[in-house]
Structures are given as structure tokens and as C-alpha cells.
Amino acid sequence: MDLNSRIYVAGHRGLVGSAILRALQQRGFHHLITRTSTELDLRNKAEVDRFFEQEQIEYVFLAAAKVGGITANNDYPADFIRDNLLIQTNVIDAAYQNQVKKLLFLGSTCIYPKFAPQPLKEEYLLTGELEPTNQPYAIAKIAGINMCQSYNRQYGTNYISVMPTNMYGPNDNFDLQTSHVLPALIRKFHEAKQNHLSSVEVWGTGNPRREFLHSDDLAEACLFLMDQYDDSDIINVGVGQDISIRELAELIQSVVGYEGEIVFNSTVPDGTPRKLVDVTKINKLGWKAKVTLQEGLESVYKAYRDDLLIKQV
């Protein structure tokens, strides 16, 4: 990409897409193309085809997706598989039909088998059963990976697939019904502190281990890979370290300044026991994550509080 390239960031208001957009703006790219979901429904093929034809897009960051935590995945499985399949299919095919130079597809580490060896290497894809709680979403993402690979093989396109670990950062989803664990815990501890509650309930046993990558780090990785990586094989993006949910809860408790008790509800399913990605491949290319979890949590909590103050005005 050069500074005059016409670049489309799909999902620019989301956690990942907004970080990619910020990174591109900071580097001085001039022709950044965005559309909200009301302006362009990516599930509608006719709309997507017309948009690509009109905009003469050269590069695509496909960060648009329907995402959510365990509750949302469990309650709306049809929505997750249908919407993600439609979004991916329409954007990837329109990119091919309109001679886009390169496309970066964002997947997820939930594509890996539930009981795959740790850390998760790229070659573990399709070697075992998926985690049942997010299987529809994972299957949609696997289809997107395969679609990129298939277009590369049949049509000679340059579509790459990036597998980020658990994400957090500005513009995260803090809705307790649909959010992931980290933003949900930030909200729970903040509200418990504000309301002087004696305890905070955390779902599960607290034993599962997760890795957390700040969205600004992922954005930097995506720009790096758009310039440096042209292989059909998937590539992981992560920090290479994980933490238990119990340790995460205690860290967020400290950042928020909540002094009550943490209660773990073991009747709620834990999900995958551990999810740590092997980042050897991207590290060898020359990229490593920079934002520590402590720094990231402090900045996200500050942004969350600032956003609440703005809404109260």
C-alpha cells in the first residue's frame, strides 16, 4: 500500500476495525473508505457489488463480523453463522470481481479445536472438534479462511487470513449480555464500586486461561502483514502469554479500585480450558506485541469511564 491507495476498512466502528482505521490515519493514508452498517448492509450482495464497483477499492481490511461472548453465541447461533457467512462471501467475491489488489481477512482463534495442544499452532486447524459454545461462529470463520485460500488457488488473488487471539481495547462492547469476558468484568467491577456492592459474580470457575491482545497491537500487526505477508496459510497474532480468568478478575479489580469480594459461579460453563496462540511465525517475520495487559486495562478503563461521563452530560 502507498499513501494514495484506496483502502476499505469493513467494520470501521468495531473494536478491531476502528483500531485499523486509527493506525492508517496516523500513518497518513489519504483515501480511506468506510461505511456504517446502515449505509451499507454487507449481508446484501447487490449493495456490496454496487459499492465495490463505484469505489474502485484497491485494498480491503475485512474486520466486519457479528461477534459476541458465550451467552450471545449460545442464544443466537443461527444469526452468528448466517450473518458471518453472508458478510464474508459478499465482500471476498466483490473484491475478486473488482480486481482488488489485496484483502486481509480477520478470523479468530476459536477456529482451533477445543482440546488442541497449547500453544495453538497454525497447523492445528481442522485437527479436532470445536468448542460447542461458539461452533457456528467458528465454522463461519473457517469457511472464510477456506474461501480466501480457494480464490487464491483458482483465481490467483492475494487474500491473507489473520487469526487474532482474544481482543480488547477502545470501542469494545460492554453489554453484559453480548460482550466478551474482559469488557464484561470491567463493567461489573465498575458498577459494583459505584453501587457499593459487597461482591462481584464472575462466571465459571476462574480456571480457564486466556490470552489478551490490545486492538492497537492487532492494528499494527494487520498493517505489517498487509505489507509483508503474501501466503495463503493462516497466521496467528497474539502476545504469546496467557492469564487465568481468576487472575484477570483480580487485575481488573485492582485497576478499577474495587475492594469487595469476587465470587465464582461454577454452574456457568467455562468454555475452552486454555487458549494461547503460538506467535513464532509472525515474530520471525519481525512483529511483536507491545502493549502490556496492565497498561491496556488502565487505558481501556479510563476510556470506559470517560465515555460514561460523556453520556451523562
C-alpha cell at 87: 458478510
Annotated binding site for NADP(+): 11-17, 106-109, 141, 180
Q: Please tell me the distance from the alpha carbon of residue 75 to that of residue 78, in angstroms, as a whole number.
A: 9
**CA–CA separation, 153 vs 62, rounded Å?**
19
CB burial of residue 306 (10 Å; 0-12, 13-18, 19+): exposed
pLDDT by residue for the chain (313 residues), tens only, comes to 999 999 999 999 999 999 999 999 999 999 999 999 999 999 999 999 999 999 999 999 999 999 877 777 888 899 999 999 999 999 999 999 999 999 999 999 999 998 899 999 999 999 999 988 889 999 999 999 999 999 999 999 999 999 999 999 988 888 887 778 899 999 999 999 999 999 999 989 999 999 999 999 999 999 999 999 999 999 999 999 999 999 999 999 999 999 999 999 999 888 778 889 999 999 999 999 999 999 999 999 999 999 888 877 6
- The annotation places the binding site for substrate at 188, 203, 210, 270
Known binding residues are 11-17, 106-109, 141, 180, 188, 203, 210, 270
pTM of the predicted structure, to 2 decimals: 0.93
User: Backbone phi, then psi, for 51, in 5-degree steps?
Assistant: -60, -50
Q: Which residues are catalytic?
A: 137
CA–CA gap between residue 92 and residue 95 (Å, rounded) = 5
Question: Cα separation of 253 and 263, whole Å?
Answer: 12
Determine contact, residues 208/249, Cβ cutoff 8 Å. no
Domains of the chain: 6-172+211-240+276-291 (3.40.50.720)
